[in-house]
Amino acid sequence: MSGEEVPMVGHPEGHAGSAWCELTSAAAGEAGPGALRPRDQGPDPLTRLIGAPPDSRERLGRLDLTVSGLGSIGAAFVDLLPAFALGTVRLVDPDAYAPSNLRSQPITPDAIGRPKCEVVGRRLKARSPETRVFIRHDRFESLGLADLQSSHAIALAGDNLALTVAASQRACQLDQFIMEGATHGATSVAQVRRTAPAKGRERSCPCCTWDQSEERELAKQTRFACDGSGRPLANPAGPTGALAALSAQAASMMAFELLRWGLGLDDSDVTVEYCALSRVSVVSPLVRNPACRVEHLPWHRVRSARPLGELSPSQLFALAHARSPGRRAVRSLEIEGSCWAERGSCDCRVPPPLARFVGRSAEAVSVGTCGMCAGPLRAHSFHTHADAPGALFASCLDRSLAELGAPGARAAIVRGSRSTFLVVGSEPSARTPVSRRAGRGKERR
Ligand SMILES: [Zn+2]
Ligand SMILES: [Zn+2]
């Protein structure tokens, strides 16, 4: 990155669909012109690291990292990031600080009641002004594919297994590095599980090691979440009750694993454990489990030069198969956040054709009026699909997604006979400056 002054204004992602809110330097109470950068503070520790490539700073400056879970481990991990001066950090957490957090977290009483992502994000932005910091006060699962597809890596430090499943699935689909930090208070063990995309081998994921007890906990949790609380409960086993020193140990291990991967030193899939009481550390391979609940194969990613709403199904299918013209059979099409309603439900004896995209709750709400019976028309649950068979689009192949009921589509998933393609549309305003994203995927290792 250049040594020029970073503008004090934000660069909001700016399109209506984005889930992220960018923190500006001014809002974070940044020290203003002349604030110290890591490279201004004497010899750069990165250049002294044995084995680190000469372009270490540039590699880290290009990285886009999503951090999910800002409890005692996640927040301590983010507090180590200013030294890395990453290009972009995205923080997502649904919680706010409670009085009980005062002893275990580096906060003062004025943080109580405020969202964790905002408090931790402002602290990061104030100490690392060159980093673009985005926050989202919500569950990780609320993020869309278009919100996550710019990230190269996910760092996870959550308190529930459903989050681990969701983040692992996204990381595999989007071909991202993922690591999960955890502690076990009673045995003083800090653990990091990490897996990286790699050419020539199938990767694993943090769920590959799960046994039946974890599957049982997940099932319990899912049932509780459906009771109307609107979000999964914390791990039924309860908080691990770890000392802040152990959380800091896990956070530090996560920082080093990010460094090892980010600098291209290591793309292995491993579990790293340290027992603070016995001073024993163990590194073991995180072996891919063929029966894992997560699909490990990455999706092919295609970016459209136009917003998706302007494209027709046939244009989407052509984009998705541009690199493999021999395989044109489209198994199915999914527009994230929408369903395809082939037929409607009303007072008519035969369900009338609808053939359009509707919101995910359209079986409950009216999507129009029936031309035959003049009654309210809902999507017919039997004829409505999130992932719609390709053949259903035969009669409307050349109409735009906007005409078909999905004007604001941001991500389309086209499944072929062997591969899955994610098509993301262009978004109206500029996102991260091109220079930081150039060469993505080639230069990061
Ligand atoms: Zn797995
Ligand atoms: Zn009718």
Report how far ligand 2's centroid is from the alpha carbon of 352 (Å): 7
**253 touches 272 (CB < 8 A):** yes
Q: What is the CATH number of the domain that holds 241?
A: 3.40.50.720
pLDDT at position 210: 85
Residue 1 domain-assigned (yes or no): no
Which ligand is in closest contact with the Cα of 204?
A: 1
Range of the domain at 98: 21-297
Would residue 9 count as lying in a domain?
Answer: no
108 and 224 within one domain: yes
Phi and psi at residue 211, in whole multiples of 5°? -110, -170
Residues 312 and 167 in one domain: no
For residue 258, the model assigns a pLDDT of 97
Q: Residue 195 Cα, ligand 1 centroid: separation in angstroms?
A: 10
The ligand with the least distance to the CA atom of 374 is: 2
Helices (H), 135-181: 145-148, 161-173
The Cα 421–Cα 33 span in angstroms is 45
How much is the pTM? 0.83
Distance 175 CA to ligand 1 centre (A): 13
Show Cβ contacts of residue 270 under 8 Å, excluding neighbours closer than 6 positions. 193, 194, 283, 284, 285, 286
Please report whether residue 336 resides in a domain: yes
Identify the pLDDT of residue 212: 78
The Cα 87–Cα 25 span in angstroms is 14
Domain shared by 48 and 136, yes or no: yes
Residue 179 lies in a domain: yes
Residue 36 is predicted with a pLDDT of: 54
Q: How many residues does the chain have?
A: 445
- 271 plus 309 within the same structural domain: no
293/354 same-domain check: no
Of 249, 269, 297, which residue constitutes the final position of a domain?
Answer: 297
- In the reported structure, the alpha carbon of residue 379 is separated from the centroid of ligand 2 by a whole-number distance in angstroms of 12
User: Which of 245, 266, 297 is the endpoint of a domain?
Assistant: 297
| Under 8 Å between Cβ of 181 and 192 | yes
Shortest-distance ligand to the CA of residue 378? 2
Alpha-carbon distance of 159 to 336, in angstroms, equals: 26
Ligand 2 centroid to Cα of residue 375, in Å, is 6
pLDDT at 211: 79
Both 241 and 359 in a single domain? Answer: no
DSSP class of residue 380 equals: -
40 in a structural domain: yes
H-helix or E-strand spanning residue 110: none
Same domain for 289 and 388: no
Look at residue 111 and tell me if it is in a domain.
Answer: yes
Residues 59, 195, single domain; the answer is yes
In order along its 445 residues, the chain shows pLDDT tens digits of: 333 333 333 333 434 467 899 998 877 775 554 455 555 567 788 878 888 999 999 999 999 999 999 999 999 999 999 999 999 999 999 999 999 888 878 899 999 999 999 999 999 999 999 999 999 999 999 999 999 999 999 999 987 888 999 999 999 999 999 999 999 888 899 999 999 998 878 899 999 988 777 777 777 654 333 333 333 333 333 345 688 899 999 999 999 999 999 999 999 999 999 999 999 999 999 999 999 999 999 999 999 999 999 999 999 998 887 665 555 678 899 999 899 999 999 999 999 999 999 988 766 678 888 989 999 999 998 999 999 999 999 999 999 999 999 999 999 999 988 889 999 988 654 333 333 333 333 333 3
Q: Which residue carries 């199904």 as its tokens?
A: 313
The number of folded domains in the chain is 2
Q: How far is the CA of 154 from the centre of ligand 1 (A)?
A: 15
The domain boundary, picked from 297, 327, 361, lies at 297
175 lies in some domain: yes
Give the Cα separation of 222 and 329 in Å (integer).
35
- Ligand number with the minimum distance to the CA of 354: 2
CA of 197 to the centre of ligand 1 (A): 12
Contacts of 1 (CB under 8 A, 6+ apart): 57, 58, 61, 85, 87, 130
Distance 37 CA to ligand 1 centre (A): 39
| Closest ligand to residue 269's CA | 1
Q: Are 233 and 348 within one domain?
A: no
Residue 440 lies in a domain: no
**Same domain flag for 182 and 285:** yes
Say what the pLDDT of residue 58 is. Answer: 94
Query: 296 CA to middle of ligand 1, Å?
Result: 6
Q: Are residue 237 and residue 309 in the same domain, yes or no?
A: no
Both 282 and 424 in one domain: the answer is no
